A and B are shown apart, each in its own frame.
Chain A
């Protein structure tokens, strides 16, 4: 056969290089066979050679399309190959794989768990239509020093009618009701509100109807909307509930509607809604601050626009009514209102857990780098056989991603378990805890975190080891270049970042622990040991007149004090001040009137005789109330130390008189008969403020907290104390029975949990960093065994070698500490709201924690360094 030019076959050979390897030989054979067959036929037909060649060439160009069409299969093929290979590599080193997977599962799991909480509490919208437009409108009360105070009804009406920013406004306030009629009286939380509230929230009863504006009139207001839960509990889910009567605080109201499940406003325990029906006095009393206000922003209006608009109205009110000077307005988005307080803590925790994950990734990257050294020869061989760098990187990254995805799947399991734990230890008053679940967004987060960790810990080792030094690695017995300058530099960088990140975490945790410690040391001003507290709320027509209520508490306290095991008992309206205490301005006898804007409000509480003694609050001068203060005797008052020092500095306040309101108001003059020590009544974290206490007999209150000091653990007394209350009147519900210790623990529970979590994260970071340093030094030592052997054979002493190695490790540690200190200085500033009594740049914390880390780094590098220098130089020299 004549030898022909065969450019078509060259073309096929060239195109075949693009065909996936799996198909290549078949593909090439098919095309070659066809072309050769056609060529021989053309020869038989004796076609001119040039024409034949052109025809064959034309046909063979189609092979390019054919090859292109096969391209997607190349990716598939490579991917499966990479995955198979990756899985094999992971199985080959089960120890390494296990450690890495555990680290990843814990890191990804913890991050995902914390993110679930962030997602449920901060990210999910509130369960109201237009939830992003609902705004709480507070009075900014400079006189009492709180920026979320209540409004008077006339002020609310002015804001409602004059504003330009809201579609609607509503007024409401929480209210507790005693439900009677069934076996035991029950205290149920609810609220009264204007009818517009339901439109603002966008909720409607599932059965019956909501109340209307017409029902906001005394006399027409005897209707109630109940929650799904109360409907089930109180009425057994009776579908004919509409029209039935409910006895609330002794008054019958007709049930007109049942809310769907999940609707609870304003608090998560609210179960009743009644119309706000004020009498004419309440409607006109501009000084009676008793209502919260809420509004629905018009679409497109921002909260700052609302603030400006409402501010103008507040300014107008201040000008119009001089006594309103010092009262501004403060709109807050409902979402911020609910979660604003917990947001900083959650974000700090999320950042902390992300740091732990980063440290974990750095550790795995280090392990991979160390392992890459042992794989150097394998990679060098593959490179020598023609594997391109991109292909090797893809292969190595596939391994990391495979590992991180398995870690992610395990991590979701860890997250679900961790979340259960976190929810169980979270304080029950944590807002929106019920919204915290593992949803689609959480799973997506876990996936994203897994993939990015895989890239993070896989990229540096992949880039590094995909570029082997062929000459070195392929040599028989080559020691590999893993310990080369480049490798050790990457490892050094990883350790520096690990140390820096753990320093930030440790300092953060240190600041939080110190804050908590400071809080624990705060002098409360009373003795919390063996104290039992419980709330009683009197309701019903029997106690409408004050003296009956006073008599009720006097009788109850006398009976309780007679109980065996009780040392003393007392009562006060509120042991701890609520956010909006009962308060008023006051005027001191014989002093010139203070301009309204400079007046301050003081909380007004009623206390029983023996209250201060029971609480262990010191009596600084004068006397406690003794029960002789009658309705008709001169009015008396006890003030606290802060008030005495502020208003009667250098004077004896005993015998001095003041009254609530202006000097010409019709409230009676009060004579100071005693001064008591300050008590932290607004919680641990706020400073003491001026306080006034009136005798219960002259200023009776329906709702009181009983405090009982026992001779021993007071909780067993609870049942007996309750018996005594019910012995006086069985219709009065008792709630919130707690020991003072528990009450105090509850007040700091959020802080304690934050501190605990931060401590766990920081501890893990320290451990991981220590493991990281140990790993790097120990690996470096194995690589340098030979060198060390040479040094020692040449006469270097153990101590010299040891100090050389340690110095190198310590340089890395100190660099990490330097970076970490700078980062901490920048980052701890974000924690300010989480700290108490500690500056975010607390010198003690910033000084001591780096020392701790240096110590840990020293030990972590000393152990492996020591081991090598103990080796016999002859053995070390032979070590390959």
Chain B
């Protein structure tokens, strides 16, 4: 797909962030420093291109917190390939993004 070769720098950064385990839109924003107006359209584009996949978190989890379930994103195999390809061009990305710490949102009860 065309998007694989034309993955922009910010798209690659976002994809790497998702791959590193920052799976929610706002977490991606936190870790990449990109504004929401860039992150969400990029995620939607990549979802359309089949590079990421989205799912809703469990109902119960959300109910505990008195809010609707959040949507999280995962990198698909095609996305992994595209990322590997993009990293050849943008070598610094891997070093820029931290490997995730234990997730805050999962630990709170």
Contact = CB atoms under 8 A, between A and B. Distances in A.
Contacts of A41: 104-105
A66 B69 contact: no
Given A33-B62, A34-B25, A34-B26, A40 B67 contact: yes
Contacts of B39: 62
B104 A30 contact: no
A65 B69 CA distance: 22
A63 interface: yes
Interface string A1-42: 100000000000000000000000010011011101110110
Contact of A66 (B40, B66, B68, B105): B40
B70 interface: yes
A61 interface: yes
A57 to B, nearest CB: 11
Q: Which of the four size classes fits the interface of chain A?
A: 20 to 34
A63 B40 contact: yes
Nearest to A64: B37
Interface in B42-80: 44-45, 62, 65-71
Contacts of B67: 32-33, 36-37, 40
B6 interface: no
Interface string A93-104: 000000000000
Given A34-B26, A34-B70, A69-B44, A62 B65 contact: no
B67 to A, nearest CB: 4
B36 A33 contact: no
Contacts of B105: 37, 41
A59 interface: yes
A26 B39 CA distance: 17
A70 interface: yes
A1 B66 CA distance: 10
B7 interface: no
Contacts of A38: 26
Contacts of B98: none
B36 A66 contact: yes
Given A37-B26, A37-B65, A69-B44, A29 B37 contact: no
Interface string A33-62: 110111011001000000000000001111
Contacts of B24: 34, 37
Contacts of A40: 65-67
Given A62-B35, A66-B41, A29 B71 contact: yes
Nearest to B40: A66
Nearest to B43: A66
A37 B70 contact: yes
Nearest to A59: B36
B29 interface: yes
B27 to A, nearest CB: 9
B44 A70 contact: yes
A40 B104 CA distance: 12
B70 A33 contact: yes
B4 to A, nearest CB: 20
A33 B40 contact: no
A601 to B, nearest CB: 76
Contact of A29 (B26, B29, B69): B69
A65 B25 contact: no
B37 A33 contact: no
A60 B69 CA distance: 18
Interface in B20-40: 24-26, 29, 35-40
Nearest to A34: B26
A1 B67 CA distance: 12
A44 B25 CA distance: 20
A66 B40 CA distance: 6
A62 B71 contact: no
Q: Which 10 A-B pairs have the closest CB atoms?
A: A62-B36, A65-B37, A62-B37, A36-B67, A66-B40, A69-B41, A33-B70, A30-B71, A33-B68, A34-B26
Interface of A: 1, 26, 29-30, 32-34, 36-38, 40-41, 44, 59-66, 69-70
Given A41-B104, A70-B44, 5 more contacts: A33-B68, A40-B65, A62-B35, A65-B41, A66-B44
24 contacts: A29-B68, A29-B69, A30-B71, A32-B68, A33-B67, A33-B68, A33-B69, A33-B71, A34-B24, A34-B25, A36-B68, A37-B70, A38-B26, A41-B105, A60-B36, A62-B36, A62-B37, A62-B38, A63-B40, A65-B40, A65-B41, A66-B36, A66-B41, A69-B41
